[in-house]
């Protein structure tokens, strides 16, 4: 573990503005402004915003199960860390505020409200999936019963030391990672995930740029047809060309494409042990 990188990654924050759009007769209350850690989830932040909105005495009480969230005109996926949501929303600008609209109208079909308990279950499932990719789930299976819930509690309570007291087992295994848990967010499609080893067949370390090129090459046929010539031309070009043409955004920064995949897996992953990378074309 690289303490400096991990610490800075943990302490990264996102400025968020919650704006209630209920269309009440007395007008909407003022927006709720707060700084949220990148690794947290909307399921944890939304109750605080609603508490602020319900503090007005002249409005109706708004219940969490009757609202849905929207950003940039699209319903939000509440199970994705806020940092990733912010990276997707600010592809063109690097320092803008994440604006989330809290709506009380009927939710669109694609929106799925995720409450705290559901989020906890999904979080622990992600950790197990990541560990399966790395060690065939040996570490999570040998963990004590209370350690996974403790990881979740440290995320909720923003406790770095407590989190890494247990997460160290997941990152510093006896053997090398079999595969690297990596998720690619490309355009408006669901994230992409593939089996990626740490090293090439010749023993050299695989880089993030190579991994992403490989994942994009394995895209579905429809999108691959449209993107194949570009990827192939890009990969066949010199090293300077790909970094200039494609930005690999994670934790709000551009990750150098020559970063080893193993380094990213150990130091740039989110608390659910996945490396979430948003690609800006």
Partner 1 sequence: MSDYRKLIIERLEDVKTRNKQVASVYNNYSKLAEALIKKQKYGAPRSGVSLEENEELVKTKAEMADLYRSKCQNDQRLINANHAIIEYEKKTNALIAEKSKLEAVKHNLAGKYARTEVELQRLKSDNELMNDERIATNATVTMMTQQIQEMENDRIHFLNKIRELNATRIDMMNAEVALEEQRRHSRVQDMITSAINDVSDKDLKLEAMLKKMPETNANGDLLLGDSLPSRSEFNFECDEGEVNDVLWLDGETFATGGSDRKIKIWKTDGHGGQTRIDVLAGSNAAFTRIDYERDRKHLIASSNDKNVRLWNLDTSRLMSTLSGHADQVTCVKFYQSHSAVSGSADRVIKIWDLQNQRCSRSLFPASKILDVATNMGGSPSLFATGHFDKKLRFYDGRSSDPVKTVEMGGRITSLDVTMSGCELLVSTRDDTITLMDLRSFQTVHCYSAENYRTSSDSSRVILSSGNEYVAAGSSNGCVFIWNRNTTKLEKRLSSSSENPIFSLSWNPTGYGLLSSSKQKVVTLWK
Q: Is 254 an interacting residue with respect to partner 1 (CB under 8 A)?
A: yes
Kindly compute the dihedral angle of the four CA atoms of residues 9, 186, 130, 111, in this order, to the nearest 10 degrees: 100
Window contacting partner 1 (CB under 8 A); options: 73-81, 138-146, 234-242, 257-265:
257-265
Residue 32 Cβ, how far from partner 1 at the closest point, in Å? 9
Nearest CA-CA partner of 93 in 257, 245, 243, 247 = 247
Q: Give the one residue of 46, 80, 143, 268 binding partner 1; rule: CB under 8 A.
A: 268
Q: Give the one residue of 128, 259, 262, 280 binding partner 1; rule: CB under 8 A.
A: 259
Q: Is 8 an interacting residue with respect to partner 1 (CB under 8 A)?
A: yes
Helix axes 42-54, 82-89, angle to 10 degrees: 80
Q: Give the one residue of 95, 161, 188, 202 binding partner 1; rule: CB under 8 A.
A: 95
Q: Is 12 an interacting residue with respect to partner 1 (CB under 8 A)?
A: yes
List, in order, residues 6 or more apart from 83 with CB less than 8 Å away: 12, 14, 37, 38, 39, 251, 252, 270, 276
Contacting partner 1 within 157-186 (CB under 8 A): none
Residue 196 Cβ, how far from partner 1 at the closest point, in Å? 17
Q: Give the one residue of 122, 198, 253, 262 binding partner 1; rule: CB under 8 A.
A: 253
Residue 261 Cβ, how far from partner 1 at the closest point, in Å? 11
Q: Give the one residue of 180, 182, 255, 277 binding partner 1; rule: CB under 8 A.
A: 255
User: Judged by CB, which is closer to partner 1: 14, or 42?
Assistant: 14
Helix axes 147-156, 116-135, angle to 10 degrees: 120
Residue 70 Cβ, how far from partner 1 at the closest point, in Å? 21
Q: For residues 224 and 217, what is the distance between their CA atoms, to the nearest angstrom?
A: 7
User: Judged by CB, which is closer to partner 1: 139, or 208?
Assistant: 208
Residue 233, phi then psi, degrees to nearest 5: -65, -40
Window contacting partner 1 (CB under 8 A); options: 4-12, 133-141, 164-172, 215-223:
4-12
List, in order, residues 6 or more apart from 158 with CB less than 8 Å away: 37, 40
Window contacting partner 1 (CB under 8 A); options: 32-40, 103-111, 156-164, 231-239:
32-40
Q: Is 244 an interacting residue with respect to partner 1 (CB under 8 A)?
A: no
Q: Give the one residue of 13, 158, 159, 280 binding partner 1; rule: CB under 8 A.
A: 13
Residues forming contacts to partner 1 in the complex (CB under 8 A) are 2, 4-5, 8-9, 11-15, 33-35, 52, 55, 94-95, 97, 251-256, 258-260, 263, 268
């Amino acid at each position: 573990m690289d303490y400096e990188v991990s610490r800075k990654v943990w302490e990264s924050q996102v400025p968020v503005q919650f704006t209630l759009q209920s269309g009440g007769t007395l007008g909407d209350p003022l927006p709720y402004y707060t700084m949220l850690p990148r690794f947290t989830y909307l399921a944890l932040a939304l109750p605080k915003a609603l508490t602020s909105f319900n503090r007005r005495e002249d409005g109706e009480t708004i219940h969490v199960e009757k609202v849905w969230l929207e950003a940039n005109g699209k319903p939000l996926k509440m199970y994705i860390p806020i940092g990733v949501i912010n990276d997707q929303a600010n592809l063109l600008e690097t320092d803008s505020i994440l604006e989330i609209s809290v709506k009380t109208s009927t939710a669109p079909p694609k929106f799925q409200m995720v409450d705290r308990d559901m989020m906890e279950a999904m979080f622990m499932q992600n950790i197990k999936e990541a560990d399966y990719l790395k060690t065939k789930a040996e570490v999570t299976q040998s963990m004590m019963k209370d350690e996974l819930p403790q990881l979740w509690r440290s995320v909720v309570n923003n406790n770095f030391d407590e989190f890494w007291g247990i997460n160290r087992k997941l990152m510093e295994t006896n053997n090398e990672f079999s595969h690297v848990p990596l998720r690619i967010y490309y355009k408006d499609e669901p994230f992409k995930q593939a089996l990626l080893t740490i090293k090439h067949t010749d023993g050299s370390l695989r880089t993030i740029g190579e991994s992403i090129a490989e994942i994009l090459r394995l895209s579905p046929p429809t999108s691959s047809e449209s993107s194949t010539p570009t990827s192939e031309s890009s990969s066949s070009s010199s090293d300077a060309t790909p970094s200039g043409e494609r930005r690999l955004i994670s934790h709000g920064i551009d990750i150098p494409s020559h970063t080893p995949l193993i380094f990213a897996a150990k130091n740039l992953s989110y608390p659910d042990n996945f490396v979430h990378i948003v690609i800006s074309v």
